[in-house]
Amino acid sequence: MKIKVEILTGIRPTSDLTVGNYLGAIEPIIKLQHQWHAPLIFIADLHALTDNEPTVVKKYSNKIVADCIALGIDPEKTKFFLQSALAGEISILMAFLARHISVAELLRVPTLKEKIRDKANPETANVFLFLYPVMMAADILLQRAKKVPLGEDQLAHLELSRKLARRFNKRYGEVFPVPEALRTKALRILSLKGEGKMSKSMPEGAIFLTDDLKTVARKIKGAETAVEGVMNKKLESHILIAKSLSKTKTEREEIDALMVEHKAGKPVMVQFKHVFTRIVQNFLVEFQLKKAKVVRDSSFIPSVLEEGIKIARVNARETLELIKQALYHF
């Protein structure tokens, strides 16, 4: 089966998803599947090995696909595949691409600099982490994808792929489309504690899609907000989550009314947290019921992945054939 790839994006399978992951990464894909033909999502299980054990990555790989489908990604419109299913093809392309980038240039890649800086000792950063930008380029160029969904703050992530495509094309002929960023609205969802973005590293500040109702209530009750009359980034993030997850205009109007009172100096944060909690709980109940249906048939997710792998493999092998013709003039 051959499908021309217009949109490609990846998701790292390293933990349960949070509502931050949903709003920032999954919801934009749900919208894109109605605008573009057959977006392709790869579960980045090789990328995840840069800082996670294989057992962890394997545990979450199928779960992430089930989560995505339960959240609203239609496997008839959007195809999924495991990155590791194309490990051989990715490795070959990485070898060709790595010839066209210097060590100094890699060290200037913003995301790589951030990841190395986040390590306790940069001297211990592994080589696989160092090579991950080249692998990311290989993922994109192997599928000859035209567009990659990115938030405004992630544009630098794509630049290396664009640079490698241009350099390869200039030397060997027009093999790769130069991928463009498909800009999505970047939602910065903060931790409930207001310390950085919502992430698994601070579980009390994150609402996981697996959380039960009591856990959600406890976390939101302990969330940091703002004193009467003051708006800050923490409270704005909570409002964004609540409004984005709400199902009715009435709920959104309820939040707006409370914020009018808050700005007027009235103590309404307890009421706001009750509304916030109710909205999140309703969202999670609906999601968890849908996911239970998705995973009821144990063969469903493997079959979804197998279909996507067939498509991705056909595209990858065609790309490698074009590369071979360009390099060796066959």
**Burial state string for 91-122 with b = 16 or more CB within 10 A and e = fewer than 16:** ebbbebbbebbeeeebeebeebeebbeeeeee
pLDDT-based confidence at residue 199 (cuts at 50, 70, 90): confident
- Dihedral of alpha carbons 136, 139, 144, 145, sign: negative
Count other C-beta atoms under 10 Å from residue 210's C-beta: 16
330 or 188, which is more confident: 188
Q: What are 233-255's pLDDT values in tens digits?
A: 999 999 999 999 999 999 999 99
The tokens describing 222, both together, are: 């302990």
Q: Which domains does the chain have, with CATH numbers?
A: 8-188+298-328 (3.40.50.620), 203-291 (1.10.240.10)
Q: What are 168-179's pLDDT values in tens digits?
A: 999 999 999 999
Percent of the chain with pLDDT over 90: 75
Task: Report CA 300 to chain centroid distance, whole Å.
Answer: 22
pLDDT-based confidence at residue 330 (cuts at 50, 70, 90): low
Residues 212 and 179: beta-carbon distance below 8 Å: no
Task: Report CA 199 to chain centroid distance, whole Å.
Answer: 12
pTM: 0.92
How many residues are given for the chain? 330
Query: What is the pLDDT at residue 125?
Result: 72
Query: What is the pLDDT at residue 2?
Result: 63
Question: For the chain, what is the largest distance between any 2 Cα atoms, rounded to a whole number of angstroms?
Answer: 76
- State yes or no: pLDDT of 122 exceeds 70: no
pLDDT-based confidence at residue 110 (cuts at 50, 70, 90): confident
**What's the rounded Cα separation, in Å, for the pair 300 and 263?**
50
Ordered alpha helix ranges (H), the chain: 19-21, 27-32, 54-71, 87-98, 103-107, 110-118, 127-142, 155-172, 213-221, 233-245, 249-263, 269-294, 300-328
265 or 39, which is more confident: 265
Query: What is the pLDDT at residue 120?
Result: 46
